Amino acid sequence: MSVRFTILGSGSGGNCAYLEAGETRLLIDAGFSARQIRERLAAIGRAPEGLDGVLVTHEHGDHIQGLATLCDKAGIPVYANRFTCEAIEYHCGRKLEFRVFETGASIAFGEVEVQTFSVPHDAMDPVGFLLKTAAGNVGFLTDLGHVTKLVMERVRLAHVLVLKANHDMKLLQDDTRRPWGTKQRILSRHGHLSNDAAAEVAAELAGGDLRHVYLGHLSRDCNRPELAHRAVSERLAGIGATSIRIENTSQERISPTMELG
């Protein structure tokens, strides 16, 4: 079975990814405009009308910006937990075709099993995902302030991991545009992972099945791609885990499609 995975974009201004396993086609978050998502899907030869559903991690705008318009026009069901559904409806001002799951449940989509789990972030009921396929498993940790024991257990089977690396600590501390309260929120246990924190997560998982790490959701102001990459790659090199590929994602461009298996 052919399994293809593409990050359509990731950053503070929008997050969206695409997984295709056999006849199953899923979008994970819809944080760009509907037009942008359609154009990015077209760039890899796909269209929203072919999607089986959109999985939503949480209700923040950089994860649901184009959700309502995209799903209304293409008739795509939205998969989210109850509190996230309610927050999306409030944010969008209209009802969508929701398929409500309970956090911690697994959802079957043809050739894909999606395991859901709670993550610590400042949203109503944010979740991470492990998408299990016959060719390999993809984990999503796109927004969280720290990694709990539960989170680590859930993504330990991931061969590919989308991992938040939001900020460089020094750049954040030196940033004069963000007020102290905003910095405290970012640094809190329900905020955003730093480069160094992401490096520790990768190192903890290095002894398992992990083969590829996408560093996502980099801050435009308080991070640099080379800093995020260096923090994680040097930490892995320090424990001899040099076979794990580290790749930065981008807000502006689509990442190359990966074929699992």
CATH number at residue 151: 3.60.15.10
Residue 260 lies in a domain: no
Res. 95: pLDDT tops 90: no
pLDDT at residue 225 in the model: 97
Contact 139, 52 (CB under 8 A): no
Contact 146, 80 (CB under 8 A): no
Residue 33 lies in a domain: yes
Residue 261 lies in a domain: no
Residue 69 lies in a domain: yes
Average confidence score pLDDT of the chain: 97
Res. 220: pLDDT tops 90: yes
- DSSP letters spanning 9-46: EEETTEEEEEEEETTEEEEE---S-HHHHHHHHHHTT-
* Structural domain boundaries enclosing 121: 3-250
Residue 257 lies in a domain: no
pLDDT at residue 93 in the model: 87
The total domain count for the chain is 1
Tokens of 223: 């991070």
Residue 258 lies in a domain: no
Segment 178-203 shows an average pLDDT of 96
Confidence of residue 261 (pLDDT cuts 50, 70, 90): confident
Residue 256 lies in a domain: no
Give the Cα separation of 203 and 147 in Å (integer): 13
pLDDT at residue 256 in the model: 98
pLDDT at residue 94 in the model: 84
Res. 89: pLDDT tops 90: yes
Segment 239-254 shows an average pLDDT of 97
Q: Phi first, then psi: what are they for 203, rounded to 5°?
A: -65, -40
pLDDT in tens, 114-138: 999 999 999 999 999 999 999 999 9
Contact 175, 227 (CB under 8 A): no
Res. 1: pLDDT tops 90: no
pLDDT in tens, 25-68: 999 999 999 999 999 999 999 999 999 999 999 999 999 999 99
By CB neighbour count within 10 A (0-12 exposed, 13-18 middle, 19+ buried), where does 153 fall? exposed
Segment 86-115 shows an average pLDDT of 95
Residue 30 lies in a domain: yes
